[in-house]
Amino acid sequence: MSFSFIMHHFSLNCKGKIWSVQQPAVMAILNLTPDSFYDGGAYSSEKKILKQVEKFVNEGADIVDIGGVSTRLSADIISVDAELNRVLKPIQLIHHYFPNVRLSIDTYSSKVAEYAVQSGVSIINDITGGTNDTAIFEVAHTHRCPIILMHIQGTVHTMHQRTNYVNILTDIYDFFVQQIGYATKIGIKDVIVDVGFGFSKTMEQNYTLLKHLAVFQQLDKPILVGLSRKSMFYKLLQTSPDKALNATTVAHTIALQNGASFLRVHDVKEAKECITIYQQMQQL
């Protein structure tokens, strides 16, 4: 199945500031966790955090996505207050030194989202697609923040075991129809969808989604993909996350060709180069 229209030109209202997106954008991952699968514990001081954000900015990141909870299999479960302790000061620090940098908060807690938005964040990224804490929709609506809705099955504690589908494409499509409908009903206009590579999916299911990602263009919402250095690559290639950059770039190329408008990445420079080449091809 192919689609001639790819949504790379659209506008987002980020707390009253209109962002006119003219080409695929890069979301840089800043994990403030000790146990994330790739870079857990790497940014343990203010100096390291600011240095990494500066690197992201210099390499052309459009968004810096800040997260305080690891979602890898068997990751530690922490309280909302512990999550706040991890992310609030860094958000305030980054917003102070880089006031023009677009920040997003990677959380499924409405309380964390509320405090993060008050501290400088303008985009909410919820890996549960609004199913864990429905009040997160109200936070997005009140502060006029775009919300990224990712697909999972089950809860954050059971999602890695929930991989059964009647039809993975239609089941996930129906999930988004439902959650977008909920967001629209309360007045949220800017929704971004993320099919959730690696969450509630087997390796084969991940590749099915990548191959048929264009199906989700019919939702008429921008598509974000989180493919960076994931196990669907390094397990297939029998390597490790630190050696999965080349595979990630290949997958990013496929995703762009199938309608992705946002790449959520650890490696900004390489993602921007991938987009540049893709854009050049599109102009011919």
Ranges of H-type helices in the chain = 46-58, 80-97, 110-118, 135-143, 168-185, 203-211, 231-234, 245-257, 268-282
Q: Contact 242/280 with Cβ under 8 angstroms?
A: no
63: three-class secondary structure by DSSP: strand
> Looking at the annotation, which residues are catalytic?
230, 264
Report angle CA 229, 137, 133 to the nearest 5 degrees: 70
What lies within 8 Å, CB to CB, of 164 at 6+ separation is 153
Q: What are phi and psi of 271, to 5 degrees?
A: -65, -40
Tokens 């502060």, residue located:
143
- What span, in angstroms and rounded, lies between the C-alpha atoms of 39 and 237? 20
